[in-house]
Amino acid sequence: DSNELVPVINYLNEQKTEDSDRLEGVAEGKNVIAISLESTQTFVVDNTLHGEEVTPYFNELKEEGMYFDNFYHQVKQGRTSDSEFLLANSMYPLNRGAVFFTHSGNEYEAMPELLSENGYFTNVMHANDKTFWNRNVMYDSLGYNEFFSKEDYDVTPEKSHGWGYLDEYFFEDSLEKMKEMEEPFYSKMITLTHHYPFTLPEELATIEQGETSSTTLNRYFQTIRYQDEALEQFVEEFKQSELYDDTILLIYGDHFGISENHQKAMGEYLGKEINDYEQFQLQRVPMLIYGKDIPSETNHTVGGQIDLRPTLTNLLGIEDENPVQFGQDLLNEDRREMMITRDGDFANEEYVGIQGVCYDRETGEQVEGQACEEGFQTAQEELSVSDSVIYGDLLRYLDETEMVNTDPTLNKNNKEE
């Protein structure tokens, strides 16, 4: 019943810090284009291969916007769909299976619904089959107004490779659709080409493959370069369009592309041994907010995908009354600086805690003693509180619970007096 939500809200209130108003409402009423970059990890950013930048365009673009360099993905088996879940709900995905499949029938108070209530036309653009990850079902539960899937794109064999529609055409068609959209809109675009096993037709490759002992990693460089060029074409055309003045971009990596099976090769590329600490740090994904009124800066706060929703609603100046959110605004200087993974590991300002072992976050040196104890405990508690919301479908009690909490005349104890 509705009482089950009370401990959740109490826990979240304990974690909460004062709201800050940094850049609050700076993008009020503006369109939002969220771009989910497939398998894109931070280790390629500002990095080179054969003396060439791997992602030259992103490297340049991030200097013009607000870039977050300690931002982690928090997905598990649901991969891209888990990252979508994190963005929409600011809750953790599940430890097993994909919540998009297992709990699509739950009630959510997701961001698309909130934005839609605030006058936005909310939609997802992804040129894959609409049933993949059960998206067609889950998107309704999350409150999206529309899903532009494969059938809405001009997908032909000539314009496809690997997983399907090539990013360059996907970006091109999507921008055309946005130019016609009613405003304000919130569009989430999900790229596809830079996906395992990272193959690319020879004529589309503009950088030589890597020379490590892993062909997967070697190919990764070519497909990420391809994605970078597709992004360039999109953003440059976007800048020339009328949308530019009234739109912000939120660009982020969805999850890792190179698994720990390729540690040896990754070590060869990065020139260091990939131990547990380095493997953890490899779970960082790029995150960039870009638009006319967004200042240029590199922000080092430790955060993750769970923080995207509160960050975005702050920029849009939208009052988000759903208290069941585990993330915190990345722009809030007093925020709890902590990122918890689905495995119960964590990073905070000082430490990284991995499977019971504690490291200094900056140096990677192992730290003896109890320094990470509290962090591990918080991680466990937080994951189980988040899980309780999903397993119990507790958001369906949200309205009731809030009434009980805020209206003293409805409070049982008061009534009895």
Length in residues, the chain? 417
Asked if 128 touches ligand GP9 (CB under 6 A), the answer is yes
Query: Which span (20-28, 190-198, 295-303, 378-386) binds ligand GP9, by CB under 6 A?
Result: 190-198
Question: Both tokens of residue 350?
Answer: 């000082």
- Residue in 190, 289, 347, 385 binding ligand GP9, rule: CB under 6 A: 190
Q: CA 358 from chain center: how many Å?
A: 26
- Report in angstroms how near the CB of residue 168 gets to ligand GP9 at its nearest: 17
Cβ atoms of residues 75 and 108 within 8 Å: no
Asked if 130 touches ligand GP9 (CB under 6 A), the answer is no
- Residue in 62, 195, 262, 309 binding ligand GP9, rule: CB under 6 A: 195
409 is catalytic: no
**Residue 191 or 378: which CB sits closer to ligand GP9?**
191
31: three-class secondary structure by DSSP: strand
Question: Both tokens of residue 305?
Answer: 């995908």
- Interface with ligand GP9 in residues 151-180 (CB under 6 A): none
Task: Name, in order, each residue with C-beta under 8 angstroms of 31's C-beta and a sequence gap of 6 or more.
Answer: 178, 183, 184, 185, 186, 187, 243, 246, 247, 248
- Report in angstroms how near the CB of residue 182 gets to ligand GP9 at its nearest: 26
Asked if 301 touches ligand GP9 (CB under 6 A), the answer is no
Task: Name, in order, each residue with C-beta under 8 angstroms of 170's C-beta and a sequence gap of 6 or more.
Answer: 125, 127, 153, 189, 191, 192, 230
- Residue in 6, 46, 64, 132 binding ligand GP9, rule: CB under 6 A: 132
**Residue 104 or 128: which CB sits closer to ligand GP9?**
128
196-218 exposure pattern, b = at least 16 Cβ within 10 A, e = fewer? bebebeeebbebebbebebebbb
Q: CA 290 from chain center: how many Å?
A: 15
**Residue 24 or 38: which CB sits closer to ligand GP9?**
38
Q: How many CA atoms lie within 13 A of 173 on its CB side?
A: 20
Confirm whether residue 195 is marked as ligand binding. yes
Confirm whether residue 311 is marked as ligand binding. no
Site string for ligand GP9, 53-92 (x = CB under 6 A): --------------------------xx------------
**Residue 37 or 398: which CB sits closer to ligand GP9?**
37
Active-site pick, 40, 80, 247, 301 = 80
Confirm whether residue 103 is marked as ligand binding. no
Rounded (10°) CA dihedral 344, 15, 282, 221: 120
Confirm whether residue 126 is marked as ligand binding. no
Confirm whether residue 50 is marked as ligand binding. no
250: three-class secondary structure by DSSP: strand
The footprint of ligand GP9 (CB under 6 A) covers 38, 79-80, 128, 132, 190, 192, 195
Which positions are annotated as active-site residues? Answer: 80
